[in-house]
Chains A and B, each alone.
Chain A
Amino acid sequence: AQSVAQPEDQVNVAEGNPLTVKCTYSVSGNPYLFWYVQYPNRGLQFLLKYITGDNLVKGSYGFEAEFNKSQTSFHLKKPSALVSDSALYFCAVSPGAEYNFNKFYFGSGTKLNVKP
């Protein structure tokens, strides 16, 4: 069965410190991987994606994520957190092109709290 896991419901970090939001997946084929952010009372916004190529992808607002095939992970990172990064983060996975690649599976979300 296809699934995405975000093992932490909440991550707390001090402003200026590095942050990591974890995501692991179980999806058939070569997956396409995404991170989305949801600010309070707002819709989801795209942050970054991995389709192929370099395992380290860079996205919006200084975020980056590293695809690790052997660990089936796609952790979201940022070198220096901002208070404005506080939001709900979702990892999403879509199975590879040989499958129904337009079906997306979302994790349960991780609430990031950045304290000043």
Chain B
Amino acid sequence: GAGVSQSPSNKVTEKGKDVELRCDPISGHTALYWYRQSLGQGLEFLIYFQGNSAPDKSGLPSDRFSAERTGGSVSTLTIQRTQQEDSAVYLCASGSSYNEQFFGPGTRLTVL
């Protein structure tokens, strides 16, 4: 069956450019999460969507980061005016109720 997919798998951009990262969750999963994982580090929570509720944006590091989830399915994480410190692997996960989260393969973002 289809798991969580993310695109692109790798993104190299120049400082100051905007980037969009996409996540396709598992069909029917009501919850969708974005995390950031810097090299050798743990997971940093960014944002969480649950059904039609207002998203929990408490983990977004700055107002340059935003995310939306259209139609309760696909989600896009946008980083404006990228900085070198934004370089990381961005992980998306989906889930339902209190079950385990299913993670996508991640997008490796490199800001030059």
- Interfacial residues, chain A to chain B (CB-CB below 8 A): 32, 34, 36, 42-46, 49, 51, 90, 92, 94, 97, 100-109
10 additional A-B pairs beyond A36-B100, A43-B106, A44-B101, beta carbons within 8 Å, are: A36-B103, A44-B103, A45-B103, A90-B42, A90-B43, A94-B98, A101-B98, A103-B56, A104-B45, A106-B42
- A43 B104 Cβ-Cβ under 8 A: yes
9 cross-chain CB contacts under 8 A = A34-B100, A43-B104, A45-B103, A92-B101, A97-B98, A102-B31, A103-B45, A103-B48, A104-B101
Total residue contacts A-B, CB cutoff 8 A = 54
CB distance from B44 to the nearest CB of A (A): 8
- A102 B103 Cβ-Cβ under 8 A: no
Query: Most chain-A CB neighbours within 10 Å: which of B93, B95, B101, B102?
Result: B101
- A107 B42 Cβ-Cβ under 8 A: yes
Q: Name B's interface SS.
A: strand
What chain B residues lie within 8 Å of A32 (beta carbons)? 98
Q: Which residue of A lies closest to B50 (CB)?
A: A102
A102 interface neighbour in B41, B98, B102, B105, Cβ under 8 Å: B98
What chain A residues lie within 8 Å of B98 (beta carbons)? 32, 51, 94, 97, 101-102
CB distance from A57 to the nearest CB of B (A): 12
